[in-house]
């Protein structure tokens, strides 16, 4: 018998991203008993199925403020994974089914993997209609997902592809990921979404949560240029604020401005 599946459901893509982050950090010490592992500052949850009622990322979400991302991050995601010619073929097939009033179809778009740095994390996206279900369903699979700084960008990409194919029709999301993880050093960036100290208030601090708080204190006070690892420098830039209350080196990257083409 294979491993069990963890199933979670949320109202929107934005809620899902926030909810998964919080689920993993709050339940960190229980994860090994619930289909996962903890290695020091790393939490991994295996075989996760997520249901999302509405494909929606807050259009005002600022990837520049929260993750210190630049437009190159979005452009690289597109060029690595999305072959627009292939997507147009899939779109034409979906539109034909819609014109015919076909109430039951499953049409799959396979993601490219053009850059070795992409690691082939996005696998495929299936456009689904089911009888007696008014919503179009976007069902996709990930090989692996770093939740805090990557998953929301993937959700936005799926939403943009869905809008390209379906326009403004209501779309829900289903996705499966066999390997979903957070690290204490990356999770500190969530502090700009919701103060982590407040999130953990009233809870008995576990070893992982203690590592998160230690990482926040370290990154808020360290000399950024002294940090060797690029991902740690990114976390420190996000936590250290300038005299205007903005992260060091801040440049806006707003979700509503990130388009498919």
Instruction: Answer whether residue 95 is part of any domain.
Output: yes
pLDDT tens sequence for the chain (261 residues): 457 889 999 999 999 999 999 999 999 989 988 889 999 899 999 999 999 999 999 999 999 999 999 999 999 999 999 999 999 999 999 999 999 988 899 999 999 987 655 567 899 999 999 998 889 999 999 999 999 999 999 999 999 999 999 999 999 999 999 999 999 999 999 999 999 999 998 888 899 999 999 999 999 999 999 998 888 999 999 999 888 888 988 999 999 999 998
Instruction: Answer whether residue 235 is part of any domain.
Output: yes
Residue 192's φ and ψ, nearest 5 degrees, are: -85, -5
- pTM score above 0.85: yes
Instruction: Answer whether residue 104 is part of any domain.
Output: yes
Instruction: Answer whether residue 108 is part of any domain.
Output: yes
Question: Residue 143: which CATH number?
Answer: 3.30.572
Question: Residues 14-59: pLDDT tens digits?
Answer: 999 999 999 999 999 899 888 899 998 999 999 999 999 999 999 9
- Boundaries of domain holding 207: 6-257
Question: Residues 60-82: pLDDT tens digits?
Answer: 999 999 999 999 999 999 999 99
**Residues of the chain above pLDDT 70, percent:** 97
Number of domains the chain contains: 1
119-127 — which CB contacts under 8 Å span 24+ positions? 119/143, 119/144, 121/145, 121/150, 121/154, 122/81, 122/154, 122/157, 125/158, 125/161, 127/90, 127/94, 127/162, 127/165, 127/166
Is the separation of the CB atoms in 20 and 147 below 8 Å?
A: yes
Count CB neighbours of 228 within 10 A: 6
Instruction: Answer whether residue 86 is part of any domain.
Output: yes
Residue 20's φ and ψ, nearest 5 degrees, are: -70, -45
């Amino acid at each position: 018998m294979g491993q069990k599946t963890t199933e979670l459901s949320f109202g929107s893509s934005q809620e899902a991203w926030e909810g998964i982050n919080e689920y993993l950090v709050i339940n960190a010490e229980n994860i090994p008993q619930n289909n996962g592992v903890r290695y020091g500052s790393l939490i991994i949850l295996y075989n996760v199925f997520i249901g999302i009622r509405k494909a929606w990322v807050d259009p005002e979400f600022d990837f520049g403020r929260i993750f210190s991302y630049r437009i190159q991050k979005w452009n690289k995601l597109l060029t690595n994974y999305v072959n627009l010619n292939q997507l147009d073929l899939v779109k034409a097939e979906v539109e034909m089914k819609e014109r015919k009033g076909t109430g039951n179809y499953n049409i799959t778009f396979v993601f490219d993997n053009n850059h070795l740095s992409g690691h082939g994390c996005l696998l495929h996206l299936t456009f689904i209609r089911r009888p007696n279900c008014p919503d179009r369903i976007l069902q996709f699979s990930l090989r692996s997902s770093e939740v805090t700084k990557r998953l929301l960008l993937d959700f936005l990409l799926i939403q943009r592809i869905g809008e390209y194919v379906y326009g403004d029709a209501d779309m829900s999301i289903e996705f499966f990921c066999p390997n979903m993880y957070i690290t204490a050093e990356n999770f500190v960036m969530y502090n700009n979404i919701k103060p982590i100290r407040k999130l953990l208030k009233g809870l008995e601090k576990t070893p992982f949560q203690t590592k998160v708080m230690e990482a926040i204190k370290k990154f808020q006070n360290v000399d950024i240029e002294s940090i060797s690892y690029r991902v740690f420098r990114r976390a420190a830039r996000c936590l250290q604020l300038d005299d205007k209350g903005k992260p060091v080196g801040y440049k806006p990257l707003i979700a509503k401005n990130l388009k498919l083409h």
